[in-house]
Amino acid sequence: MDPDRAMVDDYTEFVRTNLNAQPPPPPPISQHTPVSPQVVEVVRREKPPVHRIPKQRAEEFRASKDDDLERAEFWLENTIRVFDELSCTPEECMKCVGSLLKDSAYQWWNTLVSVVPREKVKWEFFQEEFRKKYISQRFFD
């Protein structure tokens, strides 16, 4: 038999056999459930809760000459309690405390923060400086 003829016969047989064969099934459709990106909800207050401070019975501090160290200490402890009840962040505490300082106490704080590096002015810093100025200093007067 002619080699070319044998190749044609083999090819013809192959086509005839495979023509009736079923094509392979398509790949299965995956049951892919779309995953939505996780969203982290950040709750931010636009303004610190200064308007809620009076409702919590926070008092103003004026630092008059008649004040004693117990009054200053009571004011600071009460202010810390109020800010805790309002769940204030340290940054919000710093914004709110300024609204409670009046007269010479306000002037003292404004003068102090004008000469201290901004990154150092934190809630803990305020408490420490307030104690130095109005509580500890009274022992030496």
Structural domain boundaries in the chain: 69-135
Beta-carbon count within 10 A of 15 CB: 9
What confidence score (pLDDT) does residue 14 get? 72
What confidence score (pLDDT) does residue 100 get? 92
Helix/strand/coil (H/E/C) assignment for every residue in 27-75: CCCCCCCCCCCCCCCCCCCCCCCHHHCHHHCCCCECCCCCCCHHHHHHH
Residue 88, class by beta-carbon neighbours within 10 Å (0-12 exposed, 13-18 middle, 19+ buried)? buried
What confidence score (pLDDT) does residue 105 get? 94
Residues in the chain: 141
**Tokens linked to 99:** 């609204």
Predicted TM-score (pTM) of the model is: 0.61
What confidence score (pLDDT) does residue 21 get? 66
**Tokens linked to 41:** 């909800």
Contact 96/30 with Cβ under 8 angstroms? no
What confidence score (pLDDT) does residue 8 get? 77
Per-residue pLDDT tens digits of the chain, which is 141 residues long? 677 888 778 877 776 777 666 667 777 777 766 666 666 655 554 555 666 676 677 889 988 777 778 899 999 999 999 999 999 999 999 988 998 999 999 999 999 999 999 999 999 999 999 999 998 865 554
Contact 60/50 with Cβ under 8 angstroms? no
DSSP 101: B
Distance CA 128, CA 120 (A): 12
